Amino acid sequence: MTGSASTKARGRLTNEISFNGTKLAVLNRQMPRGIKIGMIIVGIAVGLPTVAIALLFIAVSQFNPSQVFRREISLPNHGSLVIDGNRYGRSEHGFSQRAGYRPAGSAEIEWFGDVSDGVEPQVYQSGPLVVVIDLPAACLFVRNPDFRLKWKTLALVFPNDIGPFPISYYAEQNGLTMEEVSRINELGDKRERKWPTTYIQSFDPESRDLKCAYYVDNKSSWPLHLRLSEDGTHLAIVEIGPPGP
């Protein structure tokens, strides 16, 4: 009897499976086509983000940012200016990027400072000197290959440009003497507010003459004729022109 009961139970199970399968098939045939299409779309919508995330992960793992954001600008002396977009900073002039210089035939990069983003630095060869000028920041980076510390930074900032610091501080920053800084500071009336005071207009690599405009306010300015020393370590006043609009 036990064998007979087991056989009957298996028969009932087989019949139920057969019935349920037939029922599902009937329901599938009765299901509207719109619902079927909707279910397919939902399945695709759920699956696509997963596939996209997986592909994005693979792409990021293969991505080398230095190949895109670091660029080299070839120079006439066969060296190159290197701009490292991976190293960003901020200054009063906006964003800045780390800059370096690769001498001809060298694999080493000499990182010398930050240059303003969005404006290509100007590079000059003045005898043995390499002069890089960041126009928005009114800043010179000068390389002398004969010095142990090859790079010198000369920022054309004057009293009250970046704070109430003593004359000696500004003389150290811009490479002029304290007397020359005081002379420039005495131009015009006392400023009621801070202005971007100095704009570099031109540089002559032959004479090393630097032409600038020094603004006291947004109305009047004084032409500054400066000269870079032969060793690139300091500036000197050649002439201060009459004020102009």
Q: b/e for 95-119, b at 16 or more Cβ within 10 A? A: ebbbbbbbbeeeeebbebbbbbbee
Domain count, the chain: 2
21 and 127 both lie in a single domain: no
More confident residue, 154 or 42: 154
143 and 228 both lie in a single domain: yes
Asked whether residue 206 carries a pLDDT value surpassing 60, the answer given is yes
45 and 97 both lie in a single domain: no
Reported as a single tens digit per residue, the pLDDT across 43-91 is 666 666 676 676 665 654 554 444 447 789 999 999 999 998 775 555 5
The whole-angstrom separation of Cα 243 and Cα 245 is 7
Among 41, 61, 81, identify where a domain stops. 61
More confident residue, 222 or 32: 222
168 found inside a domain: yes
Among 61, 81, 103, identify where a domain stops. 61
48 and 115 both lie in a single domain: no
174 and 223 both lie in a single domain: yes
What range does the domain containing 26 cover? 2-61
Among 39, 61, 83, identify where a domain stops. 61
Asked whether residue 156 carries a pLDDT value surpassing 80, the answer given is yes
245 found inside a domain: no
Say if CB 213 and CB 224 are below 8 A apart.
yes
Percent of the chain with pLDDT over 90: 51
Q: pTM for the whole thing?
A: 0.69
Indicate the length of the chain as a whole number.
245
52 and 170 both lie in a single domain: no
100 and 150 both lie in a single domain: yes
Q: What is the DSSP string of 53-84?
A: HHHHHHHHHT--THHHHEEEEE-TTS-EEEEE
32 and 104 both lie in a single domain: no
Asked whether residue 184 carries a pLDDT value surpassing 80, the answer given is yes
Say if CB 210 and CB 131 are below 8 A apart.
no
137 found inside a domain: yes
For tokens 């800043």, name the residue. 139
